[in-house]
A and B are shown apart, each in its own frame.
Chain A
């Protein structure tokens, strides 16, 4: 509620500016702030939500500005048509850059954006025929409304409205399933892909969106200034944009506003020391990086910064709240760590696995799979089959190749030879995302959680998978999940006994619960085969028992579980079948008791007796 009042006050103050002063310079400053807000809101989506640093946004800004200017001077377009045109063209360019570059990550992407920015900057100077070269484009006609030129004060309101719109759009996006997906991909690309979410697609969309915003800002700038020259679109401008976002608060909604205001007004305040402007910027950048990793807004806003539908107070319509009866029982059970029988219904059934496996069909099969790393044979002709509705464990000494099998089956690496069939379909060489969508979910040796999201949001990422809805809907504020998705998420949480933690930030969970959350997330993804990589590692004995019970319940529900484990007691107690790997080969395969007393297995673990 407080936030709403604060925003209303800001909006009123912003709207009142032209009424308070007729000084064109002040109006110009205010409008510059507004334009920067538009551009930086977009950059914030890219850098804050999606976690990608771009140092080439001045290039996108330039494209928007020049498109609008050319449209106005050459084609006679008014601001109302030039603006959308600029947005479209810049978005298209942004999409192109993103498609090409977003297979890279981290510093490489930043490098591409720097190169892009420089190319645009040089192009502006060189392509004289189009851009007027160093002299730029001048005599851009003033914006008109209904035939009459728009006075500066009125144009101000247009800019202010655009800035407000930009902020509203980003706010809506942050709270939608799209926004959640962006944060997920930023935090753990591995986990996101294992749930069927394509990092590439999500990031490309974020980049294109931020390009659209930059284009809009550029167009507004063109009409404000009346002329354009390449000096306004340098690497320094890109750095300034990034600085605004960082200083204001990466990923916060108000950040761009705070940052833009500070960084536009600051040089005005130090009028006498204008030569020190760059030192100031550089120092601010350094300071932000050191002391204000969450920016000014982040420093004030100590409360949890949530993203996704769960964050919105009350949640958007369509998402079922936790049902009181079952919720209470789940809560009581969860605190002990081992869910006991619940009044009425049994413990939450796992979210609908496919039709109960009546016939023992084979859901996962490996045939003569081989994989080498450099000169080393990690897997040498490994064959095994996993039957539906069973728990199949894979064990073996250090270096036997178990993790390699997991990575090959889940698509995070590619086998050199052999067949891998999942649910009857050959999947060797398919990507992790494709395999996840096919019905396989996996967990990781170290739980890969989306720490910035709440527990419920983590599971929602799994439940929603690649189905994020229309981006436009997300921007408009209608980006919540369909009811079925929400229901599946809750069911998954109840199945593992974490339903009472749904609003807790994942980062605050104790370790044992983190493993369970990962499992819940994989369950929600509607997988038919669950691949668990050392789920018992680091768990206390009571937690291992709870895991045992959970796995049994999952099996009863029709799920197939493949377990990689070192915890021998758990493996022997719960598995239907055990495969033992040693040095890349299968040395035993059968019921636990058989394997346990197999002398070859003993020898593999302990070393051959003299």
Chain B
């Protein structure tokens, strides 16, 4: 029984249907990644799961409880927290205030020490203005803020955006530690190779449809992934290894 079950999800942006008939699952204590080129609908997927957008069709179930269509502030209470694309921290308030706001759904701040222990770089800057932090630090803050909501499932939207490669690795290290604490993670990334390194399983999204799924290791050598990004002819002659999925 998976923690998160999404079935036949369809989401539209005005008249354009952006996600078609999407299904995926995330189990307890798993890191699942959704990769795909720009415009494939990854961010739309996360925003729908978080309650910012409403699906046209399909179901979203968290721990057995149906969630489709609820507004964001209620979805948080059910246990899904989104760390949005571009971080979107409250730059005019302090680091501490941002973290406290993260707990706004339930109002309890007991987690603060534990979260700070996980992100020591924030502990040193508790009373700094959030806007003064560097990009990498802001990303840490955004993730920590998401954790303050005590989610069962943490959604991460392109955490690598705008970060230097070294910082990206650090971020992904943090993601691993989160999984170790029992929080499941759904990671949306454009940088497929890096995401597949840290994830357990993956899905490949192309223009609103799932075109491949499977074990992260196997996906990494699947030519379908490359072709989704750069077109058919670009997929170099990668050998069809044992774990490859046949092209759907």
Contacts and interface: CB of A to CB of B under 8 A. Distances in A.
A–B proximity contact (CB within 8 A): yes
Interface of A: 376, 397-399, 446, 510-511, 534, 537-538, 566-569, 571-572, 593, 596-597, 601-602, 605-610
B15 A608 contact: no
Interface of B: 13-18, 37-39, 158, 160-162, 165, 168, 189-195, 197, 207, 225-226, 229-234, 236
Contact of B232 (A446, A534, A569, A602): A569
A569 B231 contact: yes
Given A399-B161, A537-B39, A566-B37, A610 B230 contact: no
B192 A607 contact: yes
6 contacts: A397-B37, A398-B161, A537-B16, A566-B39, A605-B190, A606-B229
Given A398-B190, A607-B193, A597 B236 contact: yes
Contacts of A510: 15
A263 B161 CA distance: 58
A373 to B, nearest CB: 12
B230 A601 contact: yes
Contacts of B165: 608
Contacts of B192: 605-607
Contacts of A534: 39
Contacts, number: 74
B229 A572 contact: no
A95 to B, nearest CB: 39
B193 A399 contact: no
A306 B60 CA distance: 44
Contacts of A605: 37, 190, 192, 229-230
Given A397-B38, A398-B158, A398-B161, A538 B16 contact: yes
Main secondary structure of the interface of B (DSSP, over half): mixed
A376 B162 contact: yes
A510 B162 CA distance: 36
A572 B233 CA distance: 9
B231 A606 contact: no
A597 B15 CA distance: 36
A566 B229 CA distance: 9
A593 B193 contact: no
Contacts of B160: 607
B148 to A, nearest CB: 27
Contacts of A511: 15-16
Given A597-B236, A605-B190, 5 more contacts: A397-B37, A511-B16, A602-B230, A605-B192, A606-B193
A347 B105 CA distance: 60
A568 B197 contact: no
A535 to B, nearest CB: 12
Nearest to B18: A538
A163 B232 CA distance: 68
Given A399-B161, A605-B190, A607-B193, A597 B234 contact: yes
A610 B221 CA distance: 13
A404 to B, nearest CB: 14
Contacts of B161: 398-399
B39 to A, nearest CB: 4
Contact of A607 (B14, B16, B191, B232): B191
Contacts of A376: 162
A434 to B, nearest CB: 31
Contacts of B189: 607
A602 B231 contact: no
A158 B207 CA distance: 66
A452 B191 CA distance: 42
Contacts of B168: 607
Nearest to B208: A538
B226 A602 contact: yes
A539 to B, nearest CB: 9
Contacts of A567: 39, 207
A593 B233 contact: yes
Contacts of B233: 572, 593, 596
Given A572-B233, A602-B230, A609 B37 contact: no
A229 B168 CA distance: 73
A610 B193 contact: yes
Contacts of A596: 230-231, 233-234
